[in-house]
Amino acid sequence: MDKVIDFINVNRDRYIDEMKRYLAIPSISALPEHKGDVRKCAEWTRNEMQRIGLQNCRLEETPGHPVVYGEWLGAAGAPTILFYGHYDVQPVDPLHLWTSPPFEATIRDGEIYARGSADDKGQVFMHFKAVEAHLTQHGRLPVNMKFLIEGEEEVGSANLDNYIKGHKHLLTADVVVISDSPMFDRGIPSICYGLRGLTYFQIDMRGSKSDLHSGSFGGAVANPAMVLAQVLAQMKDKSGRIKIDGFYDDVVDLRPEERAEWEKLPFNEKKYKAELGAPKLFGETGYTTLERVWARPTFEVNGLLSGFTGEGAKTVLPAVAMAKVSMRLVPNQNPQKIGDLFEEYVKKVTPKTVELHITRMHGGKPWMTAFDNPYVQAAGRAIELGFGQRPVFNREGGSIPVVSTFQEELGVPCVLFGVGLPDENAHAPDEKLDLGNFHNGVIAAAYLYKEIGELKIGG
């Protein structure tokens, strides 16, 4: 590996120049006027993959923006990594809040500012450079690799599921690697091995055919806004525990090793509370804040609407009331099953004084690769070699739907190998990537291929 690492160190400045060109392409997938730029970026990606020595590099058409595919499969007997990333970026509004133009990458204080720097072109490019270093120095990779770089991640990956389902053989692998997430904190590299799932609903209640005068009719009929409040209040007890019957049946308990690992993390509750501007932190009794966010399910009200909401006072008895609600799920909760339990419970606690309508919006399964999984541990060693310190093994509270798709369709573990930072402004003005982390990330990725290459197939 010495030659590979030396090469990476020597070429540090060239990488940045090349990355700037990648970041200059405004591949905003959400905006039709940038359709040509998105395609140009797909082509740039393919050309770069070809240039560094990957094989069979090509654009694969979809009903939307194309997927870019490339591979290197010369490591007979070694495992195969499927690397997933995306070359499309978020819109840049509001433009006036950017310190430098979003598509003219600019370095300030060791960070490169540009749309796509962290999310996700910079992190994709990091792997290109690690591949390039291996192939330049040894003419081969220590592992088999397939690259799948999509162009619709920022618009919901509308065509990716179908693409994966239709190309299972092409995408066969032993592990999926994704670099599209931040590390735990600046100076604290991390490997994320679990994500929460989701199930999302709209509840509509109707108490009368039209809004009523609260003087003339108040007292005679149920107020749907009040009934909605009463129903929502019955979703949780005072300790923050969700009261839906059977809700916790499939929840995998936190393992003592995980709790011990997280306990050691430099997490400052006071600072966290101050950053959120919360009067007080609150969550399920018996768990720490990180445990609550990473490993415990939630019930949230995402929206409420009923009656008069303008300035001033209107004495209306609303005809209807609406809530958007969602539950974050943890392994092994199934969104379909939890959704059924939710609907059953809401029907049980809603009185007959209102008409109830429940709409199931969307959902996603929770995901977890055991943190002692060999691929996860290999990624940990690679991070330690790249960053000079052992990474923390964490989970995240959010969902990355594609991770579940890979798990379900390809049946392989997934490693989230992200080098962004929590303050990277991924979907905001002044998106940035720390160049030190980028450089360490290239080295870590180079080690990742070696570490995984030395594992037996299947881990």
Question: Distance (Å, rounded) from C-alpha 380 to C-alpha 378?
Answer: 5
Give least dist CB 386 to a copy of itself, A. 25
Q: Return the closest-CA partner of residue 148 out of 345, 412, 333, 350.
A: 412
Is the Cβ of residue 16 or residue 30 nearer to a copy of itself in the bound state? 30
Closest by alpha carbon to 293, among 338, 261, 324, 262? Answer: 262
Give least dist CB 210 to a copy of itself, A.
Answer: 7
Could you say which of 48, 71, 88, 119 is catalytic? 88
Return the number of the residue (208 or 440) whose C-beta is nearest a copy of itself: 208
Continuous H helices in 350-419: 374-387, 401-410
Nearer to a copy of itself, 93 or 454 (CB): 93
To a copy of itself, the closest distance from the beta carbon of 290 in angstroms equals 8
Q: For 397, phi and psi rounded to 5 degrees? A: -80, -20
Which run of H or E residues covers position 408? helix 401-410
What the block records as the tokens of 297 is: 């399910």
**Closer to a copy of itself by Cβ: residue 39 or 324:** 324
**Rounded distance between C-alpha atoms, residue 299 and residue 292, angstroms:** 12
> How far is C-alpha 289 from the geometric centre of its chain's CA atoms?
19
State the nearest-atom distance from the C-beta of 231 to a copy of itself, in Å. Answer: 8
Tokens 């330049």 -> residue: 136
State the minimum distance, in angstroms, from the CB of residue 279 to a copy of itself.
Answer: 6
Helix (H, G, I), strand (E, B) or coil at 99: coil
Distance between CA 46 and CA 56 in Å, rounded?
10
Q: Alpha carbon of 196 to those of 185, 298, 329: distances in Å? A: 20, 10, 5
Min separation Cβ 266 and a copy of itself, Å:
17
Is 13 tagged catalytic? Answer: no
Residue that the structure tokens 């991770």 belong to: 403
Residue 444 forms beta bridges with which residues? Answer: none
CB 59 within 8 A of CB 43: yes
User: At closest approach, how far in Å is the CB of 49 from a copy of itself?
Assistant: 31
The smaller minimum CB distance to a copy of itself, of residues 139 and 277, is found at 277
Q: How many residues does the chain have?
A: 459
Peptide bond before residue 120 is cis, with ω within 30 degrees of 0: yes
In the block, which residue shows the tokens 């809040």? 97
Task: Please say which residue, 90 or 223, places its beta carbon nearer to a copy of itself.
Answer: 223
* 415 three-state secondary structure: strand
Phi, psi of 427 (to 5 degrees): -115, 25
| Nearest alpha carbon to residue 431 among 41, 26, 32, 34 | 26
Nearer to a copy of itself, 106 or 350 (CB): 350
| 195 phi, psi to nearest 5 deg | -135, 155
Residue 396 Cβ, how far from a copy of itself at the closest point, in Å?
7
In the bound state with a copy of itself, the residue whose beta carbon lies nearer, of 23 and 225, is 225
Considering the complex, what minimum distance in angstroms separates the CB of residue 356 from a copy of itself? 9
| Distance (Å, whole) CA 42 – CA 273 | 41
Q: What backbone torsions phi and psi does residue 410 show, to the nearest 5 degrees?
A: -105, -15
Sign of CA pseudo-dihedral 297, 298, 299, 303: negative
Catalytic residue among 71, 132, 150, 153: 153
Q: In this structure, are residues 386 and 439 in contact, taking their beta carbons and an 8 Å threshold?
A: no
Nearer to a copy of itself, 73 or 304 (CB): 304
DSSP bridge partners of 396: 195
Residue 161 among the catalytic residues: no
Catalytic residues: 88, 153
